[in-house]
Chains A and B, each alone.
Chain A
Amino acid sequence: MTNFPVEKIRADFPILAEKIRNKPLVYLDNAATCQKPQAVIDSIVHLYSHDYANVHRGVHTLSVRSTDKFEGARTKIKDFINAASEKEIIFVRGATEAINLVAQTYGKTNIKPGDEIIITAMEHHSNIVPWQMLCQQTGAILKVAPINLLGELIFDEFEKLISDKTRLVSVVHMSNALGTINPVKKIIAAAHANNIPVLLDGAQSTPHMTVDVQDLDCDFYVFSGHKLYAPSGIGVLYGKQALLEAMPPYQGGGDMIRKVTFAETEYNVLPYKFEAGTPAIAEVVGLGAAIDYLNGIGMDKIAAYEAELLAYATEKALQIKGLRIIGEAEHKGAILSFVLNKIHPHDVGTMLDSLGIAVRAGHHCAMPVMDFFNVPATARASFAMYNTKEEIDVLMNGIESLIEVFG
């Protein structure tokens, strides 16, 4: 593989040295969550050991230190996705909460009975259910753009769904169940031509490619820290400032106010208007450390390396008789979802686990995708920058052996 320092990267992730059932761990469940480098772990330990206090509160030294680290992370995130301002970076619990926030603030304000919201047939439940809930609350209608048998969005059909009733388009940037990378620039251009804002679910894309929200021109972008080598419980909502300014707050409480009397409350400015209560301070600092770590490697290099891994894994998988790949889009991230003839994915998961290999078996929180491909579930190997060709060989040997055992 081309000059990618994978061994050096592996050494930065202590968990990769774990033995699972007496075998070296082969961690291929990165689409569910990624492991954490020592730099992220250290950043949290250091914060709690030296700098921790509540943020935006006091004049004492620790509160200032803690706030500096917290807001410093916000700036790193702003630069990482090339947002125009820190005001556009809202901390939430994860991509799921970010979508719910948009649905319950932007959606409730702007969406009326009979209005339409467009999603695609490859969405994660987190980009389906919040819109269904909003539709129930408002009387709006959810429209679903179809996919083809390769797992690609049928763009013409998507375009046909756009009408003068469409108020929002919310699509996944990269599918967690299929790996498909959507033509998001085309989608955004088509929606903007009709003055419709677009939310991109970046939970899977952010860890695996360079994301530039200004270049994409998306109106909202959401992602989770835990898939970006950072702690769980922290995620980001990016929104264009003008949209965020016009939206009502999400939750009420401390930090999101400027002035409170019993008669009325004046809300705080962006981004704090959407950040009620004490935030996930250490998690935010950990996310900042993860971004420093990724910048040290380079997102473009990571994307190129993972593309090589996917190509290698796909080639090997296609040689296995009885293996069917679910999701064969031309533009695809490093996810290999598959089913084996007459062997249930759950059995595949347990058998691979006994060899130290962690894959996901199930519906991947995308039951409509499973229905479309007429499978109850799939097994999914999802790769990250610390995986190797040798690990893919271990996976493929494991699959071949379990096929033999099942007979």
Chain B
Amino acid sequence: MFDDLRDLYQEVIFDHNRNPRNFRVIENADRQVEGFNPLCGDRLTLFLKMDGDVITDASFQGSGCAISTASVSLMTEIVKGKTGQEAEELFKKFHEMTTGKDLNFNLEAIGKLAVLAGVREYPARVKCATLAWHTLDAALKNEQKSISTE
């Protein structure tokens, strides 16, 4: 019945939505930033534990749609062990993929995150996928305030 949506709602996304990874509070987190999408009400708090420039742990709390939940869940898995700069580079690639300007974008280069490429076809949903990364960006820049997609 929802054949048209198979690219957007891949099984991996349903899986992360049902069982979000790293859905917990990090006590004594080094960074804690709130992300908010006022259009749909998605709201998350991102926690980071840092060792120098390396992200040693990442987690989140909050509520959102399947796309935003899967996106932040996948992100917390992937950035663990990466330096801030590596994470920022990934954000740049992720942004390129989801905003869809480069039609030759190499999906293999972004690994697991490629499951979110489907949002390219749904402009109304791009912000659901990028909220997590904008929040991470603010956390890495050590901006304490909450960030908003609008």
Contact = CB atoms under 8 A, between A and B. Distances in A.
Contacts of A402: 2
A14 B69 CA distance: 39
Contacts of B66: 343-344, 347, 406
A361 interface: yes
Interface in B50-78: 63-67, 69
A25 interface: no
Nearest to B39: A362
Contacts of B17: 406
Chain A interface size, under 10 / 10 to 19 / 20 to 34 / 35 or more? 20 to 34
B5 interface: yes
B18 A370 contact: no
Interface in A374-392: 376-377
Contacts of B5: 350-351, 354
A345 interface: yes
Contacts of B4: 21, 354
Nearest to B69: A344
A363 interface: yes
Interface string A339-376: 00001111100110011000001110000001000001
Contacts of A346: 40, 42, 65, 67, 125, 128
A355 B66 CA distance: 18
A246 interface: no
A401 B1 contact: yes
B14 interface: yes
Given A402-B2, A407-B14, A377 B125 contact: no
B134 interface: no
A345 B1 contact: no
A383 B2 CA distance: 24
Contacts of A344: 40, 42, 63-66, 69
Contacts of B124: 350
A84 to B, nearest CB: 42
A350 B8 contact: yes
Q: For chain B, what secondary structure do more than half of its interface residues adopt (helix, strand, loop), or is it mixed? A: mixed
Contacts, number: 62
A407 B42 contact: no
Given A344-B65, A347-B65, A376 B8 contact: no
Given A346-B40, A346-B128, A401 B18 contact: no
Contacts of A406: 14, 17, 66
A59 interface: no
A193 interface: no
Contacts of A350: 5, 8, 122, 124-125
Interface in A231-275: none
Contact of A361 (B1, B40, B63, B64): B40
A328 B41 CA distance: 22
Interface in B111-129: 122, 124-125, 128
A405 interface: yes
A205 B105 CA distance: 49
Interface in B84-141: 122, 124-125, 128
B23 interface: no
B43 interface: yes
Interface in A328-346: 343-346
A354 B7 CA distance: 12
Which has the most chain B C-beta neighbours within 10 Å: A343, A344, A376, A406?
A344
A376 B42 contact: yes
Given A351-B5, A354-B4, A406-B17, 14 more contacts: A344-B42, A345-B65, A346-B125, A350-B122, A350-B124, A354-B2, A355-B1, A355-B2, A363-B38, A376-B41, A401-B1, A401-B2, A402-B2, A406-B66
22 contacts: A343-B66, A344-B40, A344-B42, A344-B64, A344-B65, A344-B66, A344-B69, A345-B65, A346-B42, A346-B125, A346-B128, A347-B67, A350-B5, A350-B8, A361-B40, A362-B39, A363-B38, A363-B41, A376-B63, A405-B2, A406-B66, A407-B14
Interface of A: 21, 343-347, 350-351, 354-355, 361-363, 370, 376-377, 398, 401-402, 405-407
